Each structure stands twice: as C-alpha cells, then as structure tokens.
Structure 1
C-alpha cells in the first residue's frame, strides 16, 4: 500500500524532473505543446496527492485519540527504567528554525502579451506564401512598415486558446510586400521560463482569396475568430474596402494545429471585380507609300477571365513619337484617338461591353512617316459605370510589351 508521504514525494519528484527537462527543451510550438501537457499532468498528480492526504490525515488523527489496548491478563507490568543521571528525564526541545530563504524565482508571467512585449523580443514567425517574399523564422517585429519585408503588429486579442487555464495572445501580423502586404494570425504564449514562444498559425492570406485578414477576436470558449476579405489590393484606380466581400471565420486549437470550426470557407463572385488580360502580336511595317510613310496593323486580344461581365474596357497603346492611328480599325473606340502626335503620347481607346468569359480582338492600324523600330506597350483596364463600379485587382496580366520594325 502506498503511503500518503510516498504520494507527496512522488509528486515533488515529478515536478523536479519536469524542471530539469525544461532546461533542455528548445523553444517553439513543440515546446509549447509539451509545456501545456506537462502543466495538466502536474495538476493531476498534485490533486491526487491532496486527495490521498485528505483521506489519510483523519485516519491518523483518530488513531492518536483512541487509548492503547489493555494488555492481556497475566502480562507483567514493565518496571520503569531508572535515569542514569539521577535526575528527572529531560525532553529534547526543538531547535529554533531558520526562516525560509526568500530568494525564490517569481512565477513566470502568463501568455498575456502587449504590443510592446512583442516588439521588444525576438519571436518565431510562421512561414508566409513563397511568392510574397516575406521572411519567416526568428526575428524582431517592426514598429511600422517602412521597407520591403518589414513585419508589424496590426491587431491582437487575448484568451485561453489551448484550454490550459492560462491566457494566450492572438496577433494579426502584416508584412510589407510590393503594393500590398500579406497578413496572418499567430498565437503566442510564454513558456515556464517566461520566454515568448509560438503556439501556432491560425490562418494566413492567400491568392486568389482571401487577399487580406482584417481583424482577430478570441471568444470565451477559446475560438479564434478572424475577419477576412476577398480583395483588398491597391490598384491604379483604387479599391475601396466596401467593394470587398468580408467574412468572420472561427478556428480552434486541436492540440497540434488550428482547424476551422465556423464560418464560410469560400467566397462567391465579387460583383465589382473583373479579371482582364491582354495578348499582343508583333507589329511589322509595310513598304513605303507614295508619300514616304509606312503603315501596319497592331493586333491585340482582350479576354475576360471572370464570370462578371464588364460594361467596357480601356486600351492604351504606347509607342514612340511620330506614330499615329490609321484606317478604320479605330472605329471600335467610343472616342477615337487624335491624329499622330509628335510628343509620344499614348493612343487611348474605350471599348465595350465584354461578356463574362468572352474575348475580343482589335486590329488597330498605325502609320509612321519615318522608318522606326522599337518596343511598344499595350495596357488594358476595366471600365464600369457610376451605378456599377468595376475594378481589376489582378493587374499582372494587364500590360504586355511588343516589338515593331
């Protein structure tokens, strides 16, 4: 039978052993999960010891209050042993105890972190999508976004995320990359030594959607809610946030990672977003005419890759000075460009509409009065109406260079 004292000693030994293991465990998500499990195990052991003591103490106390049993009949009564000193037997007095040293390390702070805490320490940032160019790993966060790759705290909330009875900190991180920055929500905690460690990544922005995370909120049951938006990229014409579709999605910690438990998982078609692309064929000048000028045809195709129709689109042709429109191909434009310019200005053309999934090919005649060769540029943009504004947030395929000679 295990004595109460053995249970207490076992619990103390378990706590001592865990303290030694803390000194060799590396910081990081694995260490955090191990610490959480150890805290729960330690709580169970100590609770068991307390129950055992609660049962054992009354038993010992009752035994002390009962008188000893009488000896059997005929048993001789032992004679008292005389004192060798000749005087009364002295009872040993307890030595005065020295007060316990107060040089004990204070308990490690919990996982409730401030923005200042995060900026003042090196933290472990989970990886971003490779194409963003944002760094991951151990680093210092920035107070503000100034240079490419800077990462800052854009929002935070607190709550018991992993169910260990302590508070953790859910942080919205934003990185500066190009014209817009990717975002992700990460939960940070402290280990038993007070170091800031990463519990795990809750969710991160993606391509094509959601392109941005807007806010984070921790519920009393430990659910981490993240507000996401399908589109939030700055474009040439701007993208007001009210044009974006926004959702709240909830995530719970399952002991190893965060899994979505509430909210939508996809977005529907955004009625303000149209994805246009353009392809262009090289331009070749014909032989000189009677006036010494040369003409050619620029062939380009605009494609609407979205399921949202465009009420129109703009095409701009950029070439060197001295080249201008020629022929009837420009009649497709609602407002044809002016005659040849000597300043090298662009040749604009507004066309429309363009149905969802449809393509349209333009054959635009050009004329030059002197032999010329080089590289030109075609730029395409979607056109909306005041009642139904449109924008193209996917601009990577809206500009194409071409050669002419």
Structure 2
C-alpha cells in the first residue's frame, strides 16, 4: 500500500475515534452545521495530500487514538469547528402549592337554635307595627324577649342563596300588634360562627300598603331552583273579626350580591273570589200597633251580588235596631244569636235574593230609621273582605 494511502487511513481511523467520543456531548445546529462538517472533511483530505502536513496532523491525533487518553469531560472544540449547541437540563423549580379558598361558614341553623338566637330584624312598616321588635333581637322559645307578639313562624328552610357552597337559613318572622305582618329573612353565620342576617327576602306592607294590591300576608316559604326562595304571598291583612281573604300566590326571589329581588312569579294580584261586591236595598218598614204596648212590622230586603264570583260563604244580614225590638220571622233567612241577624245561602255571581223580615217592638217605636248591614261570612262568622265598605242600607220606619 502506498504511504499516502496508509496515512489517509490513519487519519480516517483517528477522526472516527475522536467523533465517537465527542458525539454524546454535542448536537449539530441544523443544516448549517451539516454544511460546515462537509467543508471541514474536504479540508482535511486536502491537507492529507501533503506528506508533511499529514504527518503533522496525524501524529497527535494517532497518539490520542492509540493511547486511549481519557478526560473528565468532552474535549475542546477547535475554533473553526462547526457551531454546536450543548444542551443541559436544569432541575425543575418546585411549583408553589395552589391557594386554597377557605370553606364558606355553615349557615344551617336548627329550629331549636333559632328559637333562642339573637339576630337583626329590619324595621317594620309604620303604624301598628311601631312596637314590633327590630334591630338586634334576642329570642327565647321562638318569641322576642322584648315583644312577645314578634315570633318565629313555622319551620326554617335551608337554601344556598348566595351560591357560596354552603346553605343559609330562611325563616318567617311575624308580628301581631293588631292584625299580623310578616318578614322573610335569610340568616347565615360569619367566620366566627355568629348568626348574622344576610338580608330580607320580602316583607308585608302592613298599614303602609294598599290591600288588594300589595303583599299583606305571607303564608310560607320553600326552596326554589338554583338558590331561589319561593314565597307564598297574599294581598289582604286580616284583622279583628275579618277572615283571611287572601289568595295564595307563589313568587320567586333571588340574592343579587347585595339584596333580594323578585326573579319570578306574578307581580300583581288578579280578581279574588274571596272578596265580595254586594249591594242592598230595602222597602219602608211600617209598624202597626197590635196591642196596648205591642207593635209589629214587615219589610222586604233585596241583596244583589255584583261580583264576578259567587259569594265565598253564606250571606249574613245584621239589623241595628233598638234592644226592645225582636226579629219574629224571615223568609229563607235563618235567624242567628241575638235575634237581630239571619243568614241566607251563597248568592251566585250577578244573582239577587229577596228576604222578607218581620219585626216586633214592645213599645211604640221612637226610631225613624234603622240600619241593615250585609256581608259574606265563613262558618265561624268571620267576615270576608268587600271591594267597598260592607254593604248597608237605611230602613225608613213609619207608623200606621
């Protein structure tokens, strides 16, 4: 083999060994590195054509390859070598722990705890309710310690009204100074476990409202969908001898972040079948002497139902007469206690009823007139509401 070929083979073997050791530590930088590598190889072959240059280059390289020299790191890269990128992997920085949102306080308050709790009650409507407990109120056995007419009504309802993942307590508080008024309150606990009032869901209008149009009665509450509060409301505030005439109407309320607002259900009350519209008229009452001290007389009374519903109960006729007068008989009207009132059956919408009433007096009548009141009543004699004041008429009294 010619010396030139032998030297060329020595160079080839030497660079192959050098490449094998360096390769694990370097990474060519793309196509530019490949082109530089090819140019470098051509340059090496050109230098090998000169015997002196070949020996000058081959001796140290062969010595390195033959001697099996080892180093503690990759060999130095010549200045004219292709650019390389040395990659190193740094340890990943520890990621901070994800922040944890504290759990919302549990706002469920049992009925027993609620009955002896202290919490804030917003102001009541002006009028009869001025004396109802308000502000920070302490309860004992479900009644306000400062005003026993203010009390917790019914069972609490549990709803997540503020969407914090924990339920709140919704309860009705009522006050009955003369008639009854109501508040629906949402209660919660703070971070220390103290009971706090989140807000008033809705309240009755009391003496400040207009019966038949505003909320005057609250029947009950229940949970709605998506944190809403369903409230059963009515439009009349019963008082004294009046019976409850309100309709049941469900309305929906939701928390907007600062207050409760109505979110669903009716916003007005329609015609009420428990409210009457009666009119009454009467003929003259002619009293005739039947003895030295006895007088009797008969008159006819016409009752008309001008409403769009039949009267919700029986219709009672009440006569305001002298204590010495007595109702002797009636047609189709059952005499009640005291012999000054009688009842007829329910009158259909648009219908009328005529009643004949016979009276007696123990002395010569001194009255020139008497008054008759007509209204619908329930079985306990509670009076239903009327669109106007209770129907009444004056009966003119004459002597024959």
TM-score (normalizing by structure 1):
0.50
Corresponding residue for residue 202 of structure 2: 203
Within 1, Cα distance between the matches of 2:292 and 2:276?
43
Whether 2:116 is the aligned partner of 1:120: answer yes
Residue 149 of structure 2 aligns to a residue in which SS?
A: coil
Post-superposition Cα deviations, 1:47-85, rounded to whole Å, max 9, x if no partner, equal xxxxxxxxxxx99779xxxxxxxxxxxxxxxxxxxxxxx
Cα deviation for residue 135 of structure 1 reads: 1.0
Corresponding residue for residue 227 of structure 2: 222
Residue 221 of structure 1 aligns to a residue in which SS?
A: helix
Residue 173 of structure 2 aligns to a residue in which SS?
A: strand
Corresponding residue for residue 384 of structure 2: 393
Corresponding residue for residue 344 of structure 2: 350
Task: Give 2:317's match in structure 1, choosing from 315, 318, 332.
Answer: 315
Corresponding residue for residue 111 of structure 1: 107
Within 2, Cα distance between the matches of 1:336 and 1:164?
62
Post-superposition Cα deviations, 1:261-293, rounded to whole Å, max 9, x if no partner, equal 12222343344x232568999x99989898455
Q: Kindly tell me: are residues 305 and 125 of structure 1, through their superposed partners in 2, closer, same or farther at Cα, counting changes over 3 Å? A: farther
Q: Kindly tell me: are residues 319 and 154 of structure 1, through their superposed partners in 2, closer, same or farther at Cα, counting changes over 3 Å? A: same
Pairing of 1:316-395 with structure 2 (within 5 A) = 316-324=318-326, 333-335=331-333, 345-348=339-342, 350=344, 353=347, 355=349, 366-370=359-363, 378-382=372-376, 393-394=384-385
Pairing of 1:4-403 with structure 2 (within 5 A) = 110-130=106-126, 133=129, 135-138=132-135, 139-141=137-139, 143=141, 149-178=149-178, 181-205=180-204, 207-208=211-212, 211-219=216-224, 221-228=226-233, 245-271=247-273, 273-275=274-276, 291=292, 306-310=307-311, 313-324=315-326, 333-335=331-333, 345-348=339-342, 350=344, 353=347, 355=349, 366-370=359-363, 378-382=372-376, 393-394=384-385, 397-398=389-390
**1:143–1:153 contact (8 Å) kept in structure 2:** no
Corresponding pairs, count: 285
Within 2, Cα distance between the matches of 1:143 and 1:225?
26
Within 1, Cα distance between the matches of 2:299 and 2:287?
12
Cα deviation for residue 221 of structure 1 reads: 2.4
Of structures 1 and 2, the larger Rg is shown by: 2
Cα deviation for residue 345 of structure 1 reads: 2.8
Cα deviation for residue 137 of structure 1 reads: 1.2
Post-superposition Cα deviations, 1:229-261, rounded to whole Å, max 9, x if no partner, equal 56796997977xxx9753432211122321111
Post-superposition Cα deviations, 1:280-327, rounded to whole Å, max 9, x if no partner, equal 99x99989898455678999896757432439732032545431459x
Q: Kindly tell me: are residues 249 and 148 of structure 1, through their superposed partners in 2, closer, same or farther at Cα, counting changes over 3 Å? A: same
Mind listing any 5+ residue stretches in structure 1 that lack a counterpart? 1-57, 63-106, 385-389
Mind listing any 5+ residue stretches in structure 2 that lack a counterpart? 1-90, 96-102, 206-210
Q: Kindly tell me: are residues 277 and 173 of structure 1, through their superposed partners in 2, closer, same or farther at Cα, counting changes over 3 Å? A: farther
Cα deviation for residue 187 of structure 1 reads: 0.6
Cα deviation for residue 116 of structure 1 reads: 2.9
Post-superposition Cα deviations, 1:103-149, rounded to whole Å, max 9, x if no partner, equal xxxx9954222223322232222234445536141323353579862
